[in-house]
Chains A and B, each alone.
Chain A
Amino acid sequence: MNCNKAKVLMSAALDGELTAQEEFELTRHLDDCPECRAYFQEAKKTKVIIKERIVRVKAPQNLVESIVRMTKITST
């Protein structure tokens, strides 16, 4: 496996979306390629930074209440 293909697999590996065969091949490549091992560590950080740094807000209370109210109205 070349490094370009390995990098594509790394992206899917971050999400636990590799097949068993792909996982085996990637692991074998990483065992032999320190550059790709380092790249994989950096790729993991990119995923983490999105989760850490993207602001998430709570839905406004009036929205929550209006939706709860909506479900209490008979739909028939």
Chain B
Amino acid sequence: MKEKKQILTAEEQLKQKEFQEEAVVHINALYNYALHLTMNPGDAQDLVQETYLKAYKFFNSFERGTNCKAWLFKILKNNYINKFRKNAREPGKVDYDLIKDFYHTIKDVQRDTTETDSDFFHSLLHEEVYQALQSLPEEFREVIQLCDIEGFTYEEIANMVESPIGTVRSRLYRGRKLLRAKLEDYAKNHGYNTESGE
């Protein structure tokens, strides 16, 4: 049987190589972000697939030397808004059963993290921290994810969420304050006195 071979130009081969080295390396981060947005592994996979398709198509417009991960996240977020936003839950309305079910779905998948303990937060279950984060208003949750989990700078986040840097700073401050209050509530449920530290 004759096999059909694709002859690639040198330029195309270089593009593939660069794309794999610069873009595909971020697939885990993108997948996690897509999971947080969609709360559904199947939808998250579709979203990541579409993101990489678009990214590869427009890879020549990506400015080498800038943050490729930030560029990919922006594409993913735009895809999410275009495809899923109209079906997403209403702002401020949290479906805790959905979060709980979803959390149990993903926590059995191969983990990509290391764990350490930290004082009274030690009493908190991973699920509770996750629920606390997911229960925040979306504009707060998003910047906390992008900053604390993905490590983007304020400038990169501002570009992704299309808001001024001052707004990013304010949302992080307010979001973290809210989050801490929620985590303290959870810790109290475990019988932890958050004032005395016992």
* Residue A20 CB within 8 A of the other chain: no
Contact among A8, A56, A70, A74 for B113, CB-based, below 8 A: A56
* Residue B90 CB within 8 A of the other chain: no
* Residue A15 CB within 8 A of the other chain: yes
Contact assessment for B28 and A58 in the assembled complex, using a CB-CB cutoff below 8 Å: yes
Contact (A52, B154) CB under 8 Å given A57-B32, A59-B28: no
Contact assessment for B106 and A46 in the assembled complex, using a CB-CB cutoff below 8 Å: no
Residues of A within 8 A of B113 (CB): 52, 54-56
The interface residues of chain B, by DSSP majority, are classed as helix
Question: CA A73 – CA B5 in complex, angstroms?
Answer: 11
* Residue A67 CB within 8 A of the other chain: yes
Contact assessment for A74 and B12 in the assembled complex, using a CB-CB cutoff below 8 Å: yes
* Residue B68 CB within 8 A of the other chain: no
Contact assessment for B56 and A47 in the assembled complex, using a CB-CB cutoff below 8 Å: no
Most buried by A among B6, B19, B118, B133: B118
* Residue B52 CB within 8 A of the other chain: yes
Residues of A within 8 A of B27 (CB): 59, 63-64, 67
Chain B: minimal CB distance from A13 (Å): 11
- Interface size on A, as a range, is 35 or more
* Residue B48 CB within 8 A of the other chain: yes
Question: CA A63 – CA B15 in complex, angstroms?
Answer: 20
CB neighbors of B among A30-53 (8 A): 42-43, 45-53
Contact among B12, B52, B153 for A75, CB-based, below 8 A: B12
17 contacts between A and B (CB under 8 A): A7-B177, A11-B169, A11-B173, A11-B176, A15-B172, A49-B121, A49-B129, A52-B113, A52-B116, A52-B121, A54-B149, A55-B113, A55-B126, A56-B112, A67-B48, A71-B52, A75-B56
Interface of B toward A, CB cutoff 8 Å = 6, 8, 12, 15-16, 19-20, 24, 27-28, 30-32, 35, 41, 45, 48-49, 52-53, 56-57, 103, 106-107, 109-113, 115-116, 118-119, 121, 124, 126, 129-130, 133, 144, 147-149, 153-154, 169-170, 172-173, 176-177, 179-180, 183
Ranked nearest first, the 7 interchain pairs of A and B with the lowest CB-CB distance are A53-B129, A59-B31, A11-B173, A50-B148, A56-B112, A57-B109, A49-B121
